[in-house]
């Protein structure tokens, strides 16, 4: 696991506080977030709702393409397209989302993402296309 520079951790935004996910790793082309499995993210069957997986994939794939390494220069992106494949249900109690930037250019980028639990169970996979917004700062 890559050490996360504390200067790069952004204050949690409202959805992040509500759902409960947190950044664990962030570097050029790479992002990892974790989300504890609680009843508040469950569907009527008691397992995490598919929308939670999509939200976590969208987050890690977007962050993977937005690393600048400078807390004063924040890069943002908008999701243009995203595909989510649901593979299994979790066996553990923690969702781990990993995003990897796989290509792109000056205005758009492509990322892949996966979600596993702490047992290694593969839960979901995704791919997305993102458009950069102006750098803040």
89-113 confidence digits (pLDDT tens): 999 999 999 999 999 999 999 999 9
Range 18-41 burial, b when 16+ CB lie within 10 A, else e: ebebebbbbeeebbbbbbebeeeb
How far, in Å, CA of 63 to CA of 87, rounded?
23
Q: Which domains does the chain have, with CATH numbers?
A: 6-132 (3.10.129.10)
pLDDT of residue 128: 98
73-88 confidence digits (pLDDT tens): 999 999 999 999 999 9
Q: Compute the mean pLDDT over every residue in the chain, rounded to the nearest whole number.
A: 94
pLDDT at 1 over 80: no
Token pair belonging to 33: 């977030």
Tell me the average pLDDT across 24-53: 95
CA distance readout (Å), 105 to 79, 81, 110, 130: 15, 16, 9, 11
DSSP 99-125: EEEEEE-SSEEEEEEEEEETT--EEEE
C-beta atoms surrounding 129 within 10 Å: 19
pTM above 0.75, yes or no: yes
């Amino acid at each position: 696991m890559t050490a996360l520079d504390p200067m790069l951790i952004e204050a949690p935004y409202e959805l992040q506080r509500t759902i409960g996910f947190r950044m664990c790793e962030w570097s050029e082309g790479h992002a990892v977030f974790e989300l504890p499995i609680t009843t508040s993210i469950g569907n009527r069957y008691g397992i995490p709702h598919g929308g939670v997986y999509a939200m976590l994939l969208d987050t890690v794939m977007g962050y993977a393409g937005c690393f600048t390494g400078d807390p004063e220069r924040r890069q943002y992106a908008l999701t243009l397209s995203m595909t989510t494949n649901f593979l299994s249900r979790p066996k553990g109690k923690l969702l781990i989302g990993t995003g990897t930037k796989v290509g792109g250019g000056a205005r758009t980028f492509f990322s892949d993402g996966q979600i596993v639990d702490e047992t290694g169970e593969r839960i979901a996979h995704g791919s997305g296309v993102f458009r950069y917004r102006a750098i803040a700062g």
